[in-house]
Structure 1
Amino acid sequence: MTKPSLLLAGLFLAGAAFAQVGTPPAPFGSGPGVHGANSPIAPLPQRSDVVPWSVLTAVKSRTEKNRVLPQFQPQQLALDGTTQRIQGFMMPLEPGEKQRHFLVSSVPLTCSFCVPGGAESMVEVRTRTPVAYTQEPVTVEGRFATLRDDPMGLFYRLTDAALVK
């Protein structure tokens, strides 16, 4: 398993372990994620030039052989293979100030060991050039893919991406 795969797996395992101890309002590591009123980071502003998280998080899922698989709706399938913009919060997959492979989430991280929502609330991003890590919202543009059976359990990926200013 690669370093990013181990880190991502660790994030999901840590979230599952916390879910057994804590009492979050929804199953931990599932759903669209919730931006709490006490968050030190402001919610994402509404923008017409990015794919709304409401479209991405509207995906249905099913469990098959102990795996959660997406059941994409026409609105998500229409994005597959097209150039799209995604706005969200960076979740680095490797150490360092600059990132080429990271997740963008609909809500900010509040704990380095917890995932803020389910697979429907994250997009894996691979950029052409390194991007400086920030806790502020970012907008990235690239080739969008819907992932029907990703080994890491992700539903969406953006490749050949670049930061949009």
Structure 2
Amino acid sequence: MKNIVRTSFLTAAVSLSCVVAMAQLSSPLGNTGIPMGTGAGVHSPNSPFAPLQDRADVLPWSVLTAVKTKVEKNRVLPVFPGNIQALNQKSQRIQGFMMPLDPGEKQKHFLLSSVPLTCAFCVPGGPESMVEVKTKTPVKYSLEAVVVEGQFAVLNDDPYGLFYRITDAVAVK
């Protein structure tokens, strides 16, 4: 039952972000009427949480969010530039905010987001601003940013619509 709920949440979160992406692609010139620098995936200055601090030892979100998308057979698929493809199957460090997929204080499977959650039912951005994380050992849930390191995968056609995944991850201070 727990896996069904987790899968349902993961599917709903990514599906919502894909709907937003499709709406942007289908509107004239990608203009949805939302001003640049606002909306999902952008840290609001009104947020009670501090934005991510720049760190030289982590892969910056600006690299991951540089992916383009295309619509093929009513699906939004990523089109990764060469610098992102080069990260595939290599160890990477990512910094972000935890989106738990299971209840509990410690998490082994969660989404890492470029911006903090503002509500329990809101998706903070599209699939370009989330990384699915599967850890070796549980990581304590935190509202503050966390850093994980593990085997990074660039996902060209994930069934859940995800663009990135880290496996065998460990928490890094």
Question: Which TM bucket (shorter chain)?
Answer: 0.7 to 0.9
In structure 2, distance between residues paired with 1:154 and 1:109: 18
Confirm or deny that 1:8 pairs with 2:26: no
The 3 A distance-change label for structure 1 pair 56 and 14 is closer
In structure 1, distance between residues paired with 2:51 and 2:106: 24
After alignment, is 61-70 or 118-127 more displaced? 61-70
Shift of 1:86: 0.1
In structure 1, distance between residues paired with 2:33 and 2:116: 16
**Structure 1 unaligned regions, length at least 5:** 18-22
Shift of 1:134: 0.6
In structure 2, distance between residues paired with 1:120 and 1:56: 6
The 5 Å alignment of 1:7-86 reads 7-12=9-14, 25=34, 33-86=41-94
Aligned length in residues: 158
* AA aligned opposite 2:136: R
State percent identity of aligned pairs: 62
Q: Is the 8 A contact 1:32 1:106 kept in 2?
A: no
* AA aligned opposite 1:67: R
Who is 1:20 aligned against?
none
Who is 2:152 aligned against?
144
- Of Structure 1 and Structure 2, the greater helix share is in 2
In structure 1, distance between residues paired with 2:15 and 2:90: 32
Q: CA RMSD in A?
A: 2.4
In structure 2, distance between residues paired with 1:24 and 1:93: 32
Q: TM-score, normalised by structure 2?
A: 0.84
Who is 1:121 aligned against?
129
Which runs of at least 4 in structure 1 moved beyond 2 Å after TM superposition? 9-17, 23-26
The 3 A distance-change label for structure 1 pair 76 and 14 is closer
Q: TM-score, normalised by structure 1?
A: 0.88
In structure 2, distance between residues paired with 1:105 and 1:125: 10
The 3 A distance-change label for structure 1 pair 160 and 112 is same
* AA aligned opposite 2:90: T
In structure 2, distance between residues paired with 1:36 and 1:5: 28
Who is 1:89 aligned against?
97
Q: Is the 8 A contact 2:154 2:165 kept in 1?
A: yes
In structure 1, distance between residues paired with 2:137 and 2:44: 32
Q: Is the 8 A contact 1:14 1:113 kept in 2?
A: no
The 3 A distance-change label for structure 1 pair 24 and 140 is farther
